[in-house]
Amino acid sequence: MLAKTNAEKLNQSLKGLETMTRIALAVLAIASGVYTYLGVHSLLDGPQMQVLLASVIYSLAVSIGIYAFWSYLLSIAPYVSEGFRRLGLYAAMAVGSLMIIAMSSWLNAAALAGSAAIEQHMAVTLEAYTDDLDKAHANVLGSEGLLPDVQRASERFKSLADDELSNGALTGSAGTGSVVQLLSQMGNQLDQLGLSIEASKGQIDDMVKMGQSHLTKMRNLVSSTQAIGPRTDRFAEEALKLAGVISALQETSIAPSVKRAAADLSFGFIAPIASSQKAETAERQEQVMATVKSAVDVQSAALIAAADSILEVEKVPTRRFAPLSTAEAVLRYASDFGPSWAGAISIDLLPGVLVLMLAIAHASLRREIEIQQPTEHISAAEMIRIIGLYQEINDKPLVDKLTKELAEAKKRKVKARKSRPREAARTVTTQNEVVGASVSELTPSSGANIGARGLKSDLLRQLEPSQKKRIAASR
């Protein structure tokens, strides 16, 4: 009788869970509707009343749809036992689950993690702007790296001019002449170029400080606890100002000016006429000036090459901050908010687990019933009706006796429940003992060789079809 007991307990448990299942399904549907409302409300624009009405209607439709969908499955799926039909039902459940995710779950995720996703978007944008400012500053600093080369070239030309002036190191004739004038001219041009590079350095530092101040404000907005909407607007304003600073910083690069000045050194070189009256000295002056021109050409080429290497560095592209809605932010940064997505989807699809549990429980219940003996399904009331029919066939007045004994057993059961609840189980057993004793009395007198376990099968074989219908109707 253990199999029968397990089947009965399982059946009673399933019946007891029906109300709880409906309540749980209703609560989950309402919760999904609430978060769907919050998600939809953050997406819609327009008059406040219109947005409110549209959000309420949509959330109600979602709640009713989810409740109806899972109610159908909870009522149908556990009782479908054929393989192909069950697979078809599960396929419908999968399609419906995808539709629920499309119409509700992502909005639930937007309501759960929308503000955090927008903060994540702001943080990512802040990091990108920080990198842009650093790259632009590095590019500009490359132009400042030309200053030492320009200063060294200027000092070399001035040193040669001083040597020529004091002791005639180049021409052999000391004093002011064409060579000294040329060397001093080249040194002065390089000094002017160096001064322009130094002047741009202060302007660059000011721009970098301005950009860093904008970054500080943006960083404070990301970590602030104020409402996300006003913070996003202020963040966009600061981002626009920072983008302007970065663009202006790149335009202040001195590399193009250095390249033009270096080219002027070579192409704008004008050698003075030899100033000496002596032919020999004038010839030496012309030779030195030719040498100076070659040195200027070499220095000019070196500065142009250095400026070109700086100009070839890719400029920082102009970046624009694009504000996102909560739903868009959740979708874009879905990988960063896995727990929120899991919770949003679980609210909608948790009834699917209940469907599978009920299907397994009902399959187990059917299996328990199938392995029972046919006579193990009979109850005391059914036994009385069967014996009544047997009495009509064999004219044995046993039903009156059984009815009387069962009535007395019920009275004892009620009395035992009132006085001693623990004896209630023994009283229930008394009914089975009465039926068994009565059947034992029936066995020798009838001569039909009917046992307690085979009674129902033998009686059913002896009944007419009309009597079998009466038994089925009485059940």
Of the listed ranges 256-265, 289-298, 346-355, 391-400, the one predicted with least confidence: 391-400
**Which of 44-53, 171-180, 417-426 is most confident?**
44-53
| pLDDT classification of 311: cutoffs 50, 70, 90 | confident
Checking if the pLDDT of 467 tops 80, the result is no
CA distance 135 to 201: 16
Contact by Cβ (8 Å): 473, 389:
no
| Spatial CA neighbour of 388 closest among 380, 400, 379, 378 | 400
Burial class (CB in 10 A: 0-12, 13-18, 19+), 21: middle
Higher pLDDT, 271 or 7: 7
Report the chain's mean pLDDT, rounded to a whole number.
Answer: 75
Higher pLDDT, 386 or 450: 386
Checking if the pLDDT of 191 tops 50, the result is yes
**Which of 114-123, 173-182, 247-256, 364-373 is most confident?**
114-123
Q: Which two tokens stand for residue 201?
A: 């350095």
Looking at the chain, the whole-number percentage of residues with pLDDT higher than 90 is 16
pLDDT, position 394: 60
Q: Which two tokens stand for residue 58?
A: 């949509």
CB burial of 153-167 (b: ≥16 within 10 Å; e: otherwise) equals: bbebbbebbeebbee
pLDDT in tens, 227-275: 888 899 999 999 999 988 888 888 777 777 777 777 766 655 545 544 5
Q: Mean pLDDT across the stretch 18-28?
A: 90
| pLDDT classification of 100: cutoffs 50, 70, 90 | very high
Task: Cite the DSSP H helix spans in 44-81.
Answer: 48-76
Total-model pTM: 0.59
Q: Mean pLDDT across the stretch 97-109?
A: 90
pLDDT, position 94: 93
* Count helices and strands in the chain by DSSP H and E runs: 16, 0
Checking if the pLDDT of 438 tops 50, the result is no
CA distance 287 to 280: 11
pLDDT, position 391: 64
pLDDT, position 281: 58
Of the listed ranges 143-157, 397-411, 418-432, 442-456, the one predicted with least confidence: 442-456
3-state SS, residue 115: helix
Q: How many CB atoms lie within 10 A of CB 57?
A: 12
* 368-376: long-range contacts, CB 8 A cutoff, minimum separation 24: 368/3, 368/4, 368/6, 368/7, 368/10, 369/7, 371/3, 372/3, 372/4, 372/7, 373/453, 374/456, 374/457, 375/453, 375/454, 375/455, 375/456, 375/457, 376/1, 376/3, 376/4
pLDDT, position 445: 40
pLDDT in tens, 133-186: 888 888 777 767 777 777 777 777 777 777 666 766 555 565 566 666 767 777
Checking if the pLDDT of 27 tops 90, the result is yes
Higher pLDDT, 208 or 425: 208
pLDDT, position 159: 76
Cα-atom radius of gyration of the chain, to the nearest Å?
50
